[in-house]
Structure 1
């Protein structure tokens, strides 16, 4: 008898937990929004880096590694920091740092959140002379623009998108109170 009662209680708890998980996603959409935290976005970035990008017809390779995403308090944009390495163009192979801030936008073709109007904040390349740093900065700016067009920072999963209410679609993406908030539109 006691074993049956324990099994029954465990079953009810598991069903309740599964329902709460599903209700969390559905209720977010019912409120016409769903929110993501910086750690959620960070996990997807970690899985996609390091990355190497060839530029200038393969004469220069830019290696981005160790992405660090944060949402500064009170800011309406997120911050991304990377370690950067350049190969080619008389590079000495040392690693530098690059930092940018950006809003986010939703792209239905990738089902992802992409950088929107990214701004380069910091570009440090140790051991590079001023001419090389200037040229490399231009390469990094073009790389960031290309990345913003084609690569999402975060991809919405199929399960979440399948729960969109009928006739609704993903609309505005805002950064508010330290979270990325995806709002629905008609």
Structure 2
């Protein structure tokens, strides 16, 4: 006879657990914002890299691999680091260099993603290259950063999350607050 309350309690707990994923998406918008952690950004980037980018009409190939995302304490910009390789005439370059950048983020409705906003090149190392090559390569990398900022999201918002936007609301500003990326809603 005592099994009935235990079974009922177990069913209630299972129902609550099953609804947690949906509840998380809905409750995220209750405060007119949703937070994205550096770990969430890292997982999406890990699935999309390494990548090769042809520049200068295919004369140069830039390889970006092993993305590393961080938000330094007290900073309002995202920091990203990549292993870097340059290849000439369609050849792949070994990733012997390193690239670091800092950037704000913005939301793009076309990609439903967070994109770099005004990326700044912090570090550019290409061992074994002369200063002249390094200067030319730096220009290619800056061009690549501009292209990435326009077309490649750092993070795509989940369709389920976007489907649960409150009526009359849309994605507004994106900022970095307390070590997380915060996507704000506006009317």
TM-score under structure 1 normalisation? 0.93
Could you say what secondary structure the match of 1:126 adopts?
coil
Contact 2:85 2:94 in 1 (8 A): yes
Tell me which stretches of 4 or more aligned residues in structure 1 moved more than 6 Å.
89-92
Cα shift at 1:48: 0.3
Instruction: Tell me if structure 1 keeps the 8 A contact 2:61–2:93.
Output: no
Tell me what 1:165 maps to.
166
What is the root-mean-square deviation in Å for CA atoms of aligned residues? Answer: 1.9
Establish whether residue 16 from structure 1 lines up as the match of residue 12 from structure 2.
Answer: no
CA distance in 1, matches of 2:21, 2:92: 50
CA contact (8 A) 1:84 1:95 kept: yes
Residue ranges of structure 1 left out of the alignment (5+ in a row): none
The equivalent of 1:101 in structure 2 is 102
Report how many aligned residue pairs link the two structures: 186
Give the 3-state SS of the residue equivalent to 2:19 in structure 1.
helix
CA drift at 1:149 = 0.2
Question: Any unmatched runs of 5+ in structure 2?
Answer: none
Aligned residue in 2 for 1:182: 183
- Map Cα deviations across residues 15-37 of structure 1 (whole Å, 9 max, x no partner): 11233432232122121000010
Q: What is the DSSP-based 3-state SS (H/G/I as helix, E as strand, rest coil) of the residue aligned with 1:10?
A: helix
CA contact (8 A) 1:92 1:127 kept: no
- Compute the TM-score of the two structures, normalised by the length of structure 2: 0.93
